[in-house]
Amino acid sequence: MSWIKATNRFLHAWRNPDDIAREVEAELRFHIEMRTRSNIEAGMDPDEARLAARKTFGDFDQVKTTCCEISRSLPFNSTVLKMGIYLILAVLAGGTALVTVNLPHHSLSGVLWQLVAIAVLARAFIVGRRSISTRQFASGIFKTKRERVHNDKVLSSDVCEKYRVGIAAHDEQGHTPVERMFE
């Protein structure tokens, strides 16, 4: 059944965000590679073909982030179902918190158990927030380590050309922006 597969995929995405990011990236890079080949066959030289392929693809990083986000969102459209799941999660988290508070904390094992419970609750909060959040995710708050590293790489190679356009150090008279301020 397709909804079972969709749910499995969602659970996999939840547990392995880095795998999903890697998979999405490989898929998008394959697309750009295919477009580059097609451009070369149409008579472009390889560099020009690659640049044109990236241009026609659009914002690689944005597309990747959106795809990762969709993979990690709940595979149900029903608000009632979503609310039910969040309610169960909230009850579980609340129950864990109650048990933790009532654990004896005068012994080392009690303190250790409390630390474990805090870690579990923190993880549950991050995972829950990640699935709910869409806008915050796009702005990078909940990006995986790998995505953040990739963004840095992209900024220094792929996207930089886009931002470099129009930021000239000198005007037509050879004056820098600072010199122009004091003219």
Partner 1 sequence: MSKAKAGLLQGTLDMLILKALFLGPLHGYGIGQRIAQISGDELKIEEGSLYPGLYRLERRGWVESEWDVSENNQRAKFYKLTRTGRKQLIIEEQNWERLASATMKALRAS
State the Cα–Cα distance between residues 180 and 174, nearest whole angstrom: 10
- Give yes or no for a contact between 24 and 71, defined as CB atoms under 8 angstroms apart: yes
Binding-site member from 11, 16, 18, 33 for partner 1 (CB under 8 A): 33
- Is 28 an interacting residue with respect to partner 1 (CB under 8 A)? yes
Type of residue found at 153: K
Tokens of 96: 């864990």
Phi, psi of 124 (to 5 degrees): -60, -40
The minimum distance between CB 137 and partner 1, in angstroms, equals: 13
- Is 107 an interacting residue with respect to partner 1 (CB under 8 A)? no
Smaller CB separation from partner 1, 6 or 90: 6
Cα-Cα end-to-end distance for the chain: 72
Binding-site member from 19, 59, 127, 132 for partner 1 (CB under 8 A): 59
Smaller CB separation from partner 1, 71 or 100: 71
The minimum distance between CB 9 and partner 1, in angstroms, equals: 7
DSSP state of 174: S
**Inter-CA distances, 164 with 46, 112, 175, 176, Å:** 22, 52, 18, 16
- Give yes or no for a contact between 36 and 50, defined as CB atoms under 8 angstroms apart: yes
Tokens of 160: 């930089």
Binding-site member from 39, 73, 131, 144 for partner 1 (CB under 8 A): 73
The minimum distance between CB 68 and partner 1, in angstroms, equals: 9
The minimum distance between CB 75 and partner 1, in angstroms, equals: 5
Residues of this chain that interact with partner 1 (CB under 8 A) are 2-3, 5-6, 9-10, 23-24, 26-28, 30-31, 33-35, 37, 56-60, 62-63, 66-67, 70-71, 73, 75, 77
